[in-house]
Amino acid sequence: MTARLGARSKHVATLSLTRASITFPFRTGSPDLMTLHASILARLSLIEGFPSWRQTLGDPALQPRLREYRTWEPSATLPSTPTRHERAPGAHGPVPVRIYQPPPSAPQSPRPALVWVHGGGWVSGDLDSTEADWTAREVCVRADAVVVSVDYRLAVGGVAYPVPHDDVVAAVRWVRDSSAVLGIDPDRITVGGASAGANLAAGAVLRLRDDDGWLPVALVLAYSVMHPALPALSAELAEALAKLPRMVQVLAEDVTVMTANYLGDAADPHGYAMPADGVLGGLCPTLLLDAEYDGLRASSEAFAAALAKARVPVRHVTVPGLLHGFLSLPASLEPVDHGLAVLAETVVHARPSRAACGVLPGADDERPARDEESE
């Protein structure tokens, strides 16, 4: 199937969606926590009885057990890549970024790029968090790509929308405009993020489409939050999540508190803060990557359906056995490794074309644009 981006300016890529014949079985039957990855299941006792994630972060007495739960040894094969720090000019001051370069021994022709935005509910995370640093290193080496990780301002201490959003927009613009210096192919820039970072990535792409008439070659959204209020969970997902400790559940009440804190008193007429409320037509091909045991799947699934309705090429992959935030875990866990492979594959193979649509690996031409898979 094909879809065409509206021609807005010379910056807008015309892309064609190709779909590979890769399929994966869905899990069926009643939910069973024994399908959680064994390494995760073994840790759940550490957080039994903990309150919500935000309440846990604010309770000093819980921090030792929380640190033990969240501390993983990096994969023995965690790539060591050259990095350097730069600052992108932004509306609220410079935006720090960390640039990951493939090893010097690799060929030096212009490379694909990923602009990566970490999560953390808009209130936590930085360039050193594992979701930022480990993911950037893995994609840099797997895709032989330049990865630029963004240290946007968090929604704390009176900061709220549009400040984090503006920071991400500024960082993406800087990468695009600095492509020659960075050794990047300007037609092969992917923008992506995880959780709240996925929200920021999608909002930035909507803004750049409207303000600059420009789109990246692809958008990658891992376990994303796209709605100000969480859509209803399926009965099966709700039953599975109810068996988990409260701290790792992402419930409607959590999303409401997080998004209200991020939005503050600002209006969002264009959907740049909450992309599910935006105009989605004409977006670039999009990969949605979800965890099996994650309440935010409801937001991601609804967003995937909205993209398909807007005739945006979309691939939706659900990785089994994992919880929300799995890109913070080492690649030595097989399903994490597979999720990283899907992400890197998209960065490598998404590219502009003279044909009508765009290249996004993952399904068959005869399937509908929404190709939902379980890896």
- 53 class by beta-carbon count within 10 Å (0-12 exposed, 13-18 middle, 19+ buried): buried
Q: Which residues are catalytic?
A: 195, 294, 324
Please state whether beta strands 286-293 and 83-88 pair in parallel, antiparallel, or not at all (unpaired): unpaired
Tokens of 219: 């958008």
What is the C-alpha separation between 324 and 312, in angstroms, rounded?
A: 25
DSSP lists the bridge partners of residue 192 as 116, 220
Please state whether beta strands 95-100 and 146-150 pair in parallel, antiparallel, or not at all (unpaired): antiparallel
- Answer whether the bond into residue 269 is a cis peptide, omega within 30°: no
What is the C-alpha separation between 218 and 220, in angstroms, rounded?
A: 7
Nearest to 169 by CA among 206, 126, 222: 206
Backbone angles phi, psi at 266, to 5 degrees: -75, 145
What is the C-alpha separation between 162 and 109, in angstroms, rounded?
A: 36
Tokens of 164: 């984090």
DSSP lists the bridge partners of residue 373 as 317
4 neighbors 209 (Cβ within 8 angstroms): no
What is the C-alpha separation between 58 and 71, in angstroms, rounded?
A: 18
Q: In what order do the strands lie in the sheet with 370-374?
A: 83-88, 95-100, 146-150, 111-117, 184-194, 218-222, 286-293, 314-323, 370-374
Q: How many CA atoms lie within 13 A of 269 on its CB side?
A: 1
Nearest to 170 by CA among 97, 72, 265: 97
